[in-house]
Structure formats: structure tokens, C-alpha cells
A = this chain, B = another copy of it.
Amino acid sequence: MKTLTEMGKDALTAKRAIAKLTTGDKNQLLLSCAEALRHNCDSIISANAIDLDNGRENGIKASLIDRLTLNRDRIFAMAEGLEQIAELPDPIGQFENMKTLPNGLIVGQKRVPMGVIGIIYEARPNVTSDAFGLCIKAGSAVILRGGKEAINSNRAVVSVFKDSIRAMGIDENIVQLVEDTSRESANQMMKMNGYIDVLIPRGGAGLIQSVVQNSTVPVIETGVGNCHVFADESADIDMAVNIIVNAKAQRPGVCNAAETFLVHKNIAEKLLPPAVAALRKKGVEIRGDERVQAVIPDVKPATEEDWATEYLDYILAVKVVDSIDEAIDHIAKYSTGHSECIVSQSYENTQRFLNEIDSAAVYVNASTRFTDGNEFGFGAEIGISTQKLHARGPMGLKELTTTKYVIYGNGQVRK
């Protein structure tokens, strides 16, 4: 088993190899890996069966077993994912802001690979394939550190990729899997400055906070979403009901699902009864403040903790507010900066909400569930950034790259 430092050194060599590949080479590699996934479907399923057996033995819960499970459909979907990435335009090599300075120097920014990208993730083996595809297309070597529950599946998938890589005569270390799935290996990855250029955690809030708190390698924080829908005084009632039901209940376990519903006091009596009825029909538990309880007597009381919670479940916190100011203040206090929506017919208030809400995605009259790379038309995403540095919102291929200045001179020196 290679040490992480050895893996880091191998990645430094491999990043120079992959940086030299043309777009055509990279696409051919992705297509060949997709084909190999399909061809080796049975052996991947066998490896996955070991993980599933271990998981059941260790008593992991059913939802995790589901996420961990690979079958023919899921492996074919991973292959299709790689083929879709092959079809995306290559951001590498584009030039931006190229110009000639008064002294004759030609200066511009060339889009280039990050170098080495580290991904720390949990139990979904499909992340192994998705992250590999995006990092490779973005021209970087990738070090994958998945969860211990999926180690046999991940090893099988990476082994299939390495066969395809070697068959094309490319340095197989453009992808490396960390075999040691202890907490120490994750912590060590977070300190690999000089080897890893950026670290992207994909998983629950605990994993992400651990990486943000401990990493000295630059991090892109992804995915924690305490998202809000605010129904303003002038909201169309039917639209507000549709949007909150969709934002909460269409798929509650994802980061762009709504967790708190703020309702202007002047429409509370008209909006809350149909909204709560529609939400409950979808199985959503409502937790309301006193003014919500005044309209809907049988709701569970909301506590301070509810405002700050990302349920990722069929639970919604509901609060009546006096004004758009109170709504904006509440969001400023409790939001994780992911996605927020105003439902309103007021020009002034929609403009204020768009301007004053400091989140990655700010919506007028649409469900927060649209914050997604595919929905926004990027074709694929590595995650949704909730930080302000480098990338904010859904991250596509371009966000996995960087630029360098290139300068063409003919002997210029500085005066």
C-alpha cells in the first residue's frame, strides 16, 4: 500500500502527463473507461456485494445500504455520465483578456488545469466515477478518498479505469484511490500542501465541516443548504403553495431543498391553510412559531434550533414575519448561503430580495430545487459551492480549472 506522500509524489508526475493530453485524448480515455465499466459490470457488482455484506454485518442503516448499492443500471448510468462529460466543451486552453500593452508585451490569461485535485467523499461509489470523469476532463490528476463502506466497490471501479488508462499508454497515476480509509488518511490529505492544489469534500455537513476546519490545502466548501422560501405579502397564493411544496417535498434529502418557509403576516391566514394541507399530503411535518400555531392550531412548535437546522427530511419550519425586512434579517442570520426564494408580485420587493440576500442562488418565483449544474445547463457538476472564493453555486468543469498569465515579449525590461 502506497503512503499518501508517495501518492502525492506520483500525482505530481502524473499531473504533468495529463496536462499534455489533447481534448481528443481525454475524450477517448473517458469513452474507453465508460465502455470498460459496462464490460466489467459483473466484477464491479461482485466487489460491491462484499461492501454490502460488510455493511449489513456492521448494521449500517437501510438508506446507506441503498446509496452503497451498485447494480447493472447504476453502473451503466456511471458509464453514461462519463460519455456525457466527454461531450462537454473542454475549458482547458482557452485564452481570456489577451491584449498588447503599450510597451509591446502581449499579456493574457490561459485556462489551465488545477494540477492535482483531492476528493474526500462518503458511501456513494458513483462519486468515484463522476469525480474521476470531471477531474480528468479538466486536465488534472485526482486523488480519491472514499468512505470505508465502499472501499471494495471503489477499488473495482478505479482498477477498471486504470486498465483503460494503461492501455492508452498514459501514466496510470492520473487517478489514485486512497486505500487507507481511516480518519487519519483524510486528515493527512488535508495537510498535503505542495501535492494537492484543491480539496473538495462531498458528503454530509459533518464531513464538510471537518475538512473546512482542518485543511491547510485550499478547500471548496460544498453543499450544506439551509434554504428558505419567503412568501411576500403580494405572493400569488397558488404559486406560493406550488413552490414551497416542490422546494420541500420533491426530494427532501438534497441540499437545495427548502428547510424554512417564511410567510408575510398579511397573507398568513390565506396562505397557511392550503400550504400546510398540501405539504401534509406529501407527508411533511410542520413546525411553526406562535403566529403559525394561531392559524394552524395542531402544528408542532418550532424552537430556535429549528431555524438553524438542515433537516434533509420531510420536516419544514414555518415562521410568520412582519415584513420583507424581517424575512431578509432572518435569512441573514440562519441561512447557510445556498439558495433562497421570494414569492412576490412586488417589483420593489423582488429587487430588494435579489440585491440584499447574500446566497449562492437567489430566486424570484421559482423553486430552490433548480440550483443544480444540470438544471443550469452545465451538463455536469462536482458539487454546489456555498463559499465565495473561486466558485459559488453549481460547479461545472470550468470551476475545476485555473488560469495562468502568459506573456510574450521581445526583450522588454522594467524601467
Please report A residues at the B interface, Cβ cutoff 8 Å.
12, 16, 19-20, 99, 101, 105, 107, 109-110, 112, 114-115, 193, 197-198, 212-213, 216, 218-220, 236, 239, 242-243, 245-247, 250, 332, 354-356, 358-367, 369-371, 375-377, 387-390, 392-393, 402-414
Contact = CB atoms under 8 A, between A and B. Distances in A.
A112 B369 CA distance: 23
A414 B19 contact: no
Contacts of A387: 197, 218
Contacts of A407: 361-364, 366, 370
B220 A414 contact: no
Nearest to A376: B107
A246 B247 CA distance: 61
A415 to B, nearest CB: 8
Q: Which of A242, A360, A366, A371 has the most CB of B within 10 A?
A: A366
Contact of A366 (B109, B110, B365, B413): B413
B198 A388 contact: yes
Contact of A404 (B112, B245, B360, B364): B360
12 contacts: A19-B355, A107-B377, A218-B389, A250-B414, A354-B406, A359-B404, A360-B405, A366-B407, A366-B412, A366-B413, A392-B402, A393-B404
B370 A412 contact: yes
Given A218-B219, A366-B407, A367-B414, 5 more contacts: A110-B354, A197-B388, A218-B218, A250-B414, A369-B414
A392 B404 contact: yes
A218 B392 CA distance: 13
A413 B242 contact: yes
Given A392-B403, A405-B362, A367 B412 contact: yes
B363 A409 contact: yes
A366 B407 CA distance: 8
B99 A370 contact: no
A361 B239 CA distance: 52
Interface of A is mostly: mixed
A260 to B, nearest CB: 18
A16 B105 contact: no
Given A218-B389, A389-B218, A409 B212 contact: no
A408 B354 CA distance: 9
Contacts of A367: 409, 412-414
Contact of A406 (B105, B193, B362): B362
Contacts of A390: 389-390
Contacts of A247: 413
Contacts of A332: 12, 16
A40 B356 CA distance: 36
B101 A366 contact: no
A213 B216 contact: yes
Please provide the 8 A-B residue pairs with the shortest distance between their CB atoms, ordered closest to farther: A366-B409, A246-B413, A390-B390, A388-B402, A369-B414, A361-B405, A365-B409, A366-B412
B243 A388 contact: no
